[in-house]
Amino acid sequence: MPATLEIITSDSLPVQHGFFTRKGGASSGIFAGLNCGTGSSDIAEVVAINRSRVAEAMDVPLEHLVGVHQVHSADAYHVTGPTTDRPKADAMVTATPGIALSILTADCQPVLFADPKAGVIGAAHAGWRGSVDGVLEATIDAMEALGAHRKDMTAVIGPCISQRAYEVGPEFFETFTNEDRENARFFANGEGDRMLFDLPAFGLFRLREAGIGQAEWTRHCTYHDSDRFYSYRRTTHAKEADYGRLISVIRL
């Protein structure tokens, strides 16, 4: 493993996993670092080098590093073995040893799940839309279909945008409060009619309401740490042409 890779882990997840930062990659310019986004305008061969470094760090062949074509859905995909297929979904589950489930993010929540007793893992891409629509609950349900038990599950939310950086408008607030008036607790007042949304707090709430054994956030903000993380919102504010994608991985 290249010594320069930086991998954030949680003691709560008793299986091999990592929330990779942007450090230690081969990309340059606005993508500088470990950009693993095949959908970015970065040089494809360089992204492939980055992904190979991640696979090496996770002790799996590159073809065992599995991902999905993320579309902000609530769909979970059952991975049974190595595949280069990337179905449209935003979560994956597996009970197959040696398969590494990977999620790409740049402000949205990467959420890694494990039930070590049952030997089942999951990974979800949970932006605000996916979180509202139930992608976290869908991941839990899909893991249970493979024999896991939610009381034995741990879920860890990795680096994502924090409340102080997530400014939204009235329509966004109404989307959440129309769903449940209690959701107002995840918003703080900003300037004028702007509000500040707490995405990881909402994610933790949904996970705990679903009844899983343990849920936590690593407490890293993608927006405010440009040396370590890519951020879609920071890129938009800087009027840059594109942005890198962070990768988060879990394997049995």
The closest of 181, 164, 165 to 173, measured between CA atoms, is 181
Least confident of 81-90, 109-118, 211-220: 81-90
Determine which helix (DSSP H) or strand (DSSP E) holds 46, and give its type and residue range: helix 44-57
Q: What is the CB-side half-sphere exposure of residue 21 using CA atoms within 13 A?
A: 18
> In the chain, pLDDT over 90 holds for what percent of residues?
97
Cα(51)–Cα(34) distance, integer angstroms: 8
Q: Is residue 241's pLDDT more than 60?
A: yes
Mean pLDDT within 54-72: 97
Which pLDDT belongs to residue 104?
98
What distances in angstroms separate CA 240 from CA 14, 41, 236, 243, one per listed residue?
38, 12, 6, 8
* Three-state secondary-structure class, residue 183: helix
Helix ranges, 146-243 (H): 170-179, 199-209, 232-238
Contact indicator for 142, 167 with CB cutoff of 8 Å: no
* Three-state secondary-structure class, residue 29: helix
Cα(246)–Cα(70) distance, integer angstroms: 13
Band of residue 251 on the pLDDT scale cut at 50, 70, 90: very high
**Amino acid of residue 142:** A
Contact indicator for 99, 81 with CB cutoff of 8 Å: yes
Mean pLDDT within 235-252: 96
Residues 178-228 have pLDDT tens digits of: 999 999 999 999 999 999 999 999 999 999 999 999 999 999 999 999 999
Which pLDDT belongs to residue 168?
97
Residues 126-172 have pLDDT tens digits of: 999 999 999 999 999 999 999 999 999 999 999 999 999 999 999 99
The domain segmentation of the chain, as residue ranges, is 7-160+215-251
**Look-up of token digits 């890694």:** 112
Band of residue 84 on the pLDDT scale cut at 50, 70, 90: confident
Domain covering 7-160+215-251 assigned CATH 3.30.1360.230 in the classification: no
**First vs last Cα of the chain: how many Å apart?**
19
**Amino acid of residue 114:** A
Cα(15)–Cα(121) distance, integer angstroms: 9
